[in-house]
Structure 1
Amino acid sequence: MQTLDRKLFRDLRGLRGQVIAIVVIVACGIASLVTMVSTYQSLLLSQERYYSQYRFADVFVQLKRAPNGVMAQILAIPGVGQGRSRVVATVTLDVPGLEDPASGRLISIPEQRQPILNDLVLRSGRYIQPGRADEVIASVAFVEANQLELGDTISAVINGRWQPLRIVGTALSPEYIYEISGTELLPDNRRFGVFWMGREALATAFDLNGAFNDVALTLTPEANQQAVIFRLDQVLERYGGLGAYGRENQLSHRFLSDDLAGLQVMALILPLIFLGIAAFLVNLVLARLVSTQRDQIAVLKAFGYSNWGVGLHFFKLVAVVVGLGSGLGIGVGRWWGANFTQFYTRFYQFPSVEYRA
């Protein structure tokens, strides 16, 4: 071991209290950076993959009632790629084991399974069968929160009439990654759920045979979203259109994108705070060390050590502190990141989340 390396070891041992404190602060800064960045990347990649695989729409609009023939006019708007008309209704539910009434959103799906916009990820059970007006597919979060099972029946007030709904499957949808009714900030999965029901049965129940009250569209790559929305509102104005909006204002997507933006900000601010404090402490400790070792530095230079050699000695001290803190921070950050990502899945319903460190 060289003379300066032995001196470095003695310096670290003599400053062990300050060194440990700085190592911990550096570790906190690196850990927060790794945690936030890895969580952000994991959620973002999961979101993009989910949206792409299950065809999440770009534009949405609700209306009172329009005949099915109007879809031809909508699809003819320049910039519109694919379109899906639906029947959507909010109903009151009587859920076994729940004292207060719950609410549910019924969304129509084709009687025969086929690729559609905002497609379903069937997690258990089966798809609805044609002609079975009482069969529904329920959201996973609602079924789990109420401890329901496949085959269980809940009652719904549909257009003023009680109707039993039998759960034949559970599913997820990119449209409801964040499953709230629209009047809440946090999901209440016991009292609000999403249900997918056959188009014919739901249309008949709400006197919307041959009509629709909800539209979802995708756009072509060269489309101007604002122009499409403006033209869409013109087409649907006479049918009670409530105003079209883009994906960025879709409720579930907006909550998720805002949280992702928050993670980006936290990934910048938290590490800067910790690393800034660490840099200040390192500078303070190093300045005091150099000040108290002026005689030793003079002796080292008298024995032939160059300014570069002496400077490298003190740089090694900083490198050891930063290296120890970084190693510890990366390990802790990867662990925190994996757990933090899983924490987000308690609120956001993804089919799968692949953690990216």
Structure 2
Amino acid sequence: MTPLHAKLMRDLWRIKAQAAAIMVVIAIGVALQIMMSGFVSSLTLTRDAYYERHQLADVFAPVVRAPNYVESRLADIPGVRTVETRLTSMASAKVATREFSISMQVLSLPLHGRRHLNEVRLTQGRLPYAQRPDEILLLESFATAHNIVPGTRFEVTLNGVRRWYNVVGTAQSPEFIYFAAPGEFIPDDARFGVVWMGRPALAAALDLEGAFNEALVSLLRGVNKAAVLDQIDQVLDPFGAPGSYGLEDFPSDRFLSEEISGLEVTSSTVPPVFMLVAAFLLYIVTSRMITAEREEIGLVRAFGYSKREVASHYLELALFIAVTGAALGCLLGVLLGRAMVPVYTTYYKLPFLLFRLEFASFASGMLLSIAVATLGGVWALRGIFRLTPAEAMRPPTPPDFSHSISFKKGLFARLDQPTRMVLRRLMRQPWRMLGAVIGIASGMALSLAMLIIYDGFDVAIDRTFNVVDRSDATVSFVQNVPMRTIYDLQGMEGITQAEPVRFVPVVFRNGLRTYKGSITGLAPAPVLHRALDKDLRPISLPERGIVLSTPLADVLDVGVGDSLLLEIREGRQLKVTTQVAGIAESLLGAPAYMDLDALGRQIGEPDRFSAAYISMRDGWQSKVYADLKDMPAVAGISLRSESEEAFKKVMDEGAGSARFIMGVMAFAITFGIVYNVARVAQDESARDLASLRVLGFKHSEAAFVLLGELAVVVLLALPLGLWMGTGLSHLIAQGFSTDLYQVPVVFAPKAYGNSISVVVLAAGISGWLVQRKIRSSDITLALKTRE
């Protein structure tokens, strides 16, 4: 071992606590990068493999009723590889675990035994036999939620007729990776299911013999999808087609793709923030060590060591810290990634998910760590090697403080000596103090931003389910029903109020910007479900025009007064131009609102609605469920309380769970920064503190000089950290927000108070550790000098 290497080991042992804190910061950044980039790769490869293995269609083309011969016309369209038709319908089912009916989607299975588009993955039992019309296959997640196994008798109300079926198996499907009940955005395995049955049985139940109501299309590679969609619509338009759409507009794929995109953005933006903090800490530690060892550097140079050898010595110190932290980060990233696999396989119904380790993420993490160490070390070394060995061996020229602030007059004259010493140190080294303030403020900003995000998630839940939606339940119908049905609901025992609502599929167009969504038609002056502005005041729906939610207005880039083209995908398939009459606040989905009567006139189907919001008397829920269950037109009932619980589950266990990991890491970084600032200040003041002890100052008085400086720095960092954290929270909220939900940035006094408490607690623990170090320090050794 060379003398410089021996010195390196001693230096690392001497600053082991500071080095460990910096390693933690680097490890967190690398772990996040490996975990998130690993999931980007894993989810992408799993999705693509699942789609390819089970031949998920590229295009979905719903239609009211088209004869089977139309299938050949679709197959003749240039660019089409395969066409398959099927039957689909909404239904309701009664299960033992629920008092009320549950919405179901029913799909037909092909007659032939060959491979087909949207092939199911059998998980238990067998497929239904075509010649047995009473056999069905259930979606595995729904069956698991209700403890349904093959052999169970299952009641389904299909096309207004109640039938009993035998469950012969359970399955997964690539088109139901992410799914929710119609009119909802939150997945809940217990409240929505899928049934597959033989095509002859379903055709007889729906009166669709010799016809189909949905076409599945796979395309050749490299074709113009938009052109193919146009030709498919031309073929199906005479048969009442609401419009075909590609896989990118299919809800299941859209939500999974958004999750992947969000992880890509986060993996490319968050880890560099941690690395910049680590570079700052490495610079502080390395520069302090180099400044303190100025004379030793001159002596080593005089003994014949070159500038390169001495620089390599200090760079090795920084590299050891950085590479060790990166190695720990690699291990932590793998552990976190594997721990998060069950979250994704539960939230997204994937048959498998292996956490894929990307070599590029490991390499980039290591290279970034090395770059951080080199940057911090070179920046600290830049000035010391300008000196000759003889000049470096002499103590630095004492700074000139003759023009600094005087403590002989005014308020300063009344301060005791330790307090004056604290203020002198801060005022005579303003740049060092500014760096410490910015460092602590940065750590506090991360903590505050995550706390604000936590409160934002809570506000999103409260506003969605207690301010916007104030109903007890939503009753959905198999098809649009006449307005007299609302009077039937209002007359039922136990129902205190009922409001109609209609959901109409539509394509919004503003120039080149488009969005495939729906219009929600609300009753005049609604009470149970309202459109609210940004101040949470009800918006009066106009007789003309449309009210867009904030997310939808942003996507379409329109404001109040702008024109908007609506392509109605229901009824007569009209294309109408309307005006944006208002912007509504929405934290769930991207809805658009119109007056129910105006919407009916717009599409040529007045006085009809597709669902109803209801409120019930306490204690009458069971009676209401029983009465609604006997109504053939009812497809299902969605309880607001269950939707709220499902939303919380999504946020805490699904896509939103990453905020907890980032929050813990932000708190760890805050402590690491504060502790390093305190330790650097202690090392710089070691000789001064020892001198105070020799002059008769007590341990507490000597510690006051150091800890008082830390206290002033922390106090100055608090307002800056609050300001930085508020701005950072907007960026993080934007990253967490998706089409499923939007996370608001709210003024949260508790979050500000908790972030301040975190910094003060970190400062208190750091001060206690530093004070222990002062008590155990050797005064004689600290006072030794080569002057």
1:79 matched to 2:83? The reply is no
Stretches of structure 2 that go unaligned for 5 or more consecutive residues are: 358-787
Q: Name the residue aligned to 1:345.
A: 345
Aligned to 1:136: 136
3-state secondary structure, aligned to 1:62 = strand
Matched to 2:143, the amino acid is V
Identify which range, 182-191 or 43-52, moves more after superposition. Answer: 182-191
Paired residues of 1:111 and 1:129 also in contact (CA < 8 A) = no
- 1:232-259 Cα offsets, whole Å, 9 max, x none, are 1111111110111111111100011000
Aligned AA for 1:305?
Y
Q: Residue 32 of structure 1 aligns with which residue?
A: 32
In the alignment, the residues of structure 2 paired with residue 349 and residue 112 of structure 1 have an alpha-carbon distance, to the nearest angstrom, of: 27
Q: Aligned residue for 1:292?
A: 292
Moved over 6 A (4+): none
Letter in 2 for 1:271: P
The SS at the match of 1:270 is helix
Tell me the equivalent position of 1:145: 145
User: 1:182 deviation in Å?
Assistant: 4.1
Contact 1:71 1:85 in 2 (8 A): yes
Deviations 1:95-151 (A, max 9, x none): 122122111100001234321100011111001112211111111100111111111
Output one character per residue of 1:229-287: Cα deviation in whole Å (capped at 9) or x when no partner: 01111111111101111111111000110001111111112211111111111112111
> Is the counterpart of residue 107 in structure 1 residue 107 in structure 2?
yes
Residue 154 of structure 1 deviates from its aligned partner by 1.8
Are the aligned partners of 2:94 and 2:155 in contact in 1 as well (CA < 8 Å)?
yes
Task: Note if contact 1:125-1:170 (Cα within 8 Å) is conserved in structure 2.
Answer: yes
- CA RMSD, 1 decimal: 1.1
Tell me what 2:328 maps to. Answer: 328
Write the distance in 2 (CA, Å) between the matches of 1:242 and 1:254: 19
Contact 1:179 1:193 in 2 (8 A): no
Mapped to 2, the partners of 1:228 and 1:283 lie a distance apart of: 59
CA contact (8 A) 2:86 2:110 kept: no
Q: SS where residue 347 of structure 2 aligns?
A: coil
2-structure distance, mates of 1:180, 1:331? 36
* Whole-angstrom CA distance in 2 between matches of 1:82 and 1:199: 19
What residue in structure 1 maps to residue 647 of structure 2? Answer: none
| Contact 1:39-1:340 within 8 A present in 2 as well | no
Q: 1-side partners of 2:225 and 2:129: how far apart?
A: 37
Q: Does 1:11 align with 2:45?
A: no
Residues 1-357 of structure 1 mapped to structure 2, 5 A cutoff = 1-357=1-357
Amino acid at match of 1:98: R
Code of the residue aligned with 1:71 in structure 2: it is E
Aligned partners of 1:65 and 1:212 also within 8 Å: yes
In structure 2, what residue type is equivalent to 1:183?
G
Q: 150-159 or 208-217: which moved more?
A: 150-159
Question: 2:243 is paired with a residue of what secondary structure?
Answer: coil
- Which structure 1 segments of 5+ residues have no match? none
Question: 1-side partners of 2:118 and 2:77: how far apart?
Answer: 20
User: Would the aligned equivalents of 2:138 and 2:195 in 1 still touch at CA under 8 Å?
Assistant: yes
Structure 1 CA distance for aligned equivalents of residues 135 and 259 of structure 2: 35
Scaled by the length of structure 1, what TM-score is found?
0.98
Q: Is the 8 A contact 1:111 1:128 kept in 2?
A: no
TM-superposed deviation, 1:28: 0.3
Q: Is the 8 A contact 2:181 2:191 kept in 1?
A: no
Counterpart AA for 1:256: L
Partner SS, residue 60 of structure 1: strand
Q: How many Å separate the matches in 1 of 2:148 and 2:212?
A: 30
CA–CA distance in 2 between the matches of 1:222 and 1:306? Answer: 61
Percent identical across equivalent pairs? 37
Amino acid of the residue matched to residue 30 of structure 1? V
SS in 2 for 1:208: coil
Distance 2:293 2:243 in 1: 74
Q: Kindly provide the amino acid, as one letter, of the partner of residue 139 in structure 1.
A: L
**Distance in 2 of aligned mates of 1:96 and 1:112:** 34
Matched AA of 1:115 = R
CA contact (8 A) 2:297 2:310 kept: yes
Q: Give the number of equivalent residue pairs.
A: 357
Q: Which is higher, the Rg of structure 1 or of structure 2?
A: 2
Deviations 1:25-52 (A, max 9, x none): 0000111111111112111111111111
C-alpha distance in 2 between matches for 1:260 and 1:296? 53
Following TM superposition, by how much is the alpha carbon of 1:343 offset from its aligned partner in structure 2, in angstroms? 1.2
In the alignment, the residues of structure 2 paired with residue 182 and residue 103 of structure 1 have an alpha-carbon distance, to the nearest angstrom, of: 8
SS at match of 1:209: coil
CA distance in 2, matches of 1:25, 1:67: 64
CA distance in 2, matches of 1:75, 1:319: 62
Higher relative contact order (CA 8 A, sep 6+): 1
| Displacement after TM superposition at 1:62 (Å) | 1.0
Cα pair 2:66 2:211 within 8 Å, conserved: yes
Per-residue CA deviation, residues 282-321 of structure 1 (Å, 9 max, x unaligned), is 1121112111111110011011110000000011101110
Cα distance between partner residues in 2 of 1:57 and 1:116: 10
d(CA) in 2 for partners of 1:131 and 1:11? 81
Cα distance in structure 2, aligned partners of 1:303 and 1:105: 84
Partner Cα distance (1:47, 1:277) in 2? 35
Give the TM-score of the pair, scaled to structure 2.
0.45
The CA distance in 1 between the partners of 2:36 and 2:318, in whole Å, is: 26
